[in-house]
Each structure stands twice: as C-alpha cells, then as structure tokens.
Amino acid sequence: MTPDHPTPTGTADAALLDLELSDPPTPNDAWQVVTPLQHHGPAAAPPRDPFVEERPVPLPGSAGEHLLQRAYGTEKRARKFYDDQVLDRLNPQMKEFIGRMEMAFVATSDSRGECDSSLRAGPPGFMEVLDDRHLCYPEYRGNGVLAGLGNISENPHVGILLVDFVTDLIGLHVNGKARIVEDADLRSIYPALPAEFDRGRTPERWVVVQVEEAYIHCRKHIPRMVPVLRTRSWGTDDVKRKGGDYFESKGMPRPWHRPEPVGSRDC
C-alpha cells in the first residue's frame, strides 16, 4: 500500500475495501469514468453501511465514513464523538454562537454532486436562528450567477461552517436541507426578522435550512485573527474599486467564451 492508502486494520468486508481504496483511473486505463448522462446500465448500489444493522436509529454520517472507521479502526473514537458532540438540533449554546458570528462558509452541490463553496458575511446575527431546527441567512443582490442557490434548487443538502477566529477559537458545523424563500414570504411567517441591514442592503430572498446535524469543529488548528477597521468602496460597479478582477482572469481564453470577431456587429 502507498502512504496515501495505508494498510487498513479493521474488519470491513474485503470487497467494500477494494471499492473504497481503489486507485483512480489513469489516462492509460482501458476504461473511463462515465457521467450520469453517459451511463445506460443499472445504477451501482451504494456501499452497505456496516452500522445500520447495529442500531435501530442509524448513526450520523455517511456509509462511506462508517465503512472507513471500521477499516481504519477508529469506530470507538467516532462513536464517542457522535454520542458526545453531534446533535440533531441547535441547543442554546449553539444558538448564541450563531447569533454572534459575522461570516459563514456554505457548501452546496448540484444533482450530479459537483460542488461549490461560498462565503456569506454580515453583521453579528446576520444568520438568523428561527427555532431549534431551523436557521436562515439572507441572499442579497450579487453578480447574478446564483451558483449556491442553483445547487440548492437541484439538491437541498447544504453544509455550513461557522468559525470564531477571534475569541474562543472554535467552530460549529450545521448540516441539513435548504430551501429558497422570498423575503416577503418569510416575513409573513417570521415577522421578527430584522428590517435594518448593513449598508442599507435588503435581502431579495432567504435560504432556510432545516438542521439535521450540528457539531463542534475543534480549536486545534484554528488560527487566531484580530479584526481591524477597514474602508471599502460600496455601491459601485467599478471592477477595480471592488477588486472584481483581482486574479486578472478577464480576457483570458476559456472553453465557453467565444468572443465575436471585430466588425461582426451591425453598425
């Protein structure tokens, strides 16, 4: 086995280990990975979760993580974490933590599993806790791409990570299922939503997340940061002032961009 694939020491089925630990195909392989659109045969069965049969209520997490816990001998540590740290709702301490956070990292994927992660930020409490099992965050006017919302429209699963880099050096994961709700519709249900927003921005819509898992992200590798005052140019479409082409990608060739030849437009 290579350093990337150490020899497993647990008791998972050999066939399942072969599936989980197999090397990815190389260009010289005789077979190729097919996309869902190319696949015409029966869908492959997902890995069997070795923990499902052992408890009437399945443990948190995926079949893949449970399989590898068994393969690498980390079942006891993982079960202790599930039993001690993972909740299916938000407790008062988690609600208080969310209420003072100023940013969150949000991960989504589309129906094919292609992923996107994004930063959401605002004043403390920009992410609203609605009750023990629901939170929401606002969506403002942006660049119009709507990558995260587009993913949610295809696949409701969402993962949120909030990190306190300043005071407690701790993080909170919130995983669940999201839906998109227009601002007026959500206010009709939750009239206590804030009416004043940072720099006068008002939400066009909200992402409401039904909490399925909430658990700690330990402080071991979280760096300490110190907030500083900063002046930004807001309310402008000037790319330079907003830093919109910081990586100087504008004008570089890309497969989907076909610039019109000079003189092709009608005068």
Per-residue pLDDT, 56: 72
Give the residue-averaged pLDDT of 46-61.
76
Mean pLDDT for the stretch of residues 169-191: 96
Does the pLDDT of residue 90 top 90, yes or no?
A: yes
pLDDT at residue number 35: 36
**What SS3 class is residue 133?**
coil
Structure confidence at residue 128 (pLDDT): 96
Q: Are 164 and 223 in contact (CB under 8 A)?
A: no
- Reported as a pLDDT band with limits 50, 70 and 90, residue 49 is confident
- Tell whether the torsion through CA atoms of 5, 11, 15 and 16 is positive or negative: negative
Helices (H), 199-251: 239-242
What per-residue confidence (pLDDT) applies to 1? Answer: 52
SS3 171: strand
pLDDT at 258: 75
- The 10s digit of each residue's pLDDT in 8-40 is 555 555 555 555 444 444 444 333 333 333 444
DSSP result, 44-66: PPPPP-TTGGG-SSPPSS-HHHH
Is residue 179 predicted with pLDDT exceeding 50? Answer: yes
pLDDT at 14: 58
Record the pTM. Answer: 0.75
135: pLDDT strictly greater than 70: yes
Judged against a pLDDT cut of 70, whether residue 42 lies above it is answered with: no
Q: Which CATH class is domain 92-217?
A: mainly beta
CB atoms within 10 A of CB 158: 22
Q: Where in the chain is the domain with CATH 2.30.110.10?
A: 92-217
Q: Is pLDDT above 60 for 212?
A: yes
Q: Give CA separation, 194 vs 97, 128, 137, 201, in Å.
A: 18, 9, 11, 12
Q: Is the model more confident about 114 or about 10?
A: 114
pLDDT at 69: 95
pLDDT tens for 229-245 read: 877 665 556 666 666 78
Mean pLDDT of 177-185: 97
Q: Give the confidence band of 267 by pLDDT, cuts at 50, 70, 90.
A: very low
Cα-based distances in Å from 259 to 6, 115, 251, 255, 266:
49, 28, 10, 11, 15
Determine the average pLDDT of the residues in 149-154. 97
Q: Mean pLDDT, to the nearest integer, of 190-208?
A: 86
* Torsion sign across C-alpha atoms 148, 149, 152, 153: negative
Band (81; pLDDT cuts 50, 70, 90): very high
State the average pLDDT over residues 183-210.
89
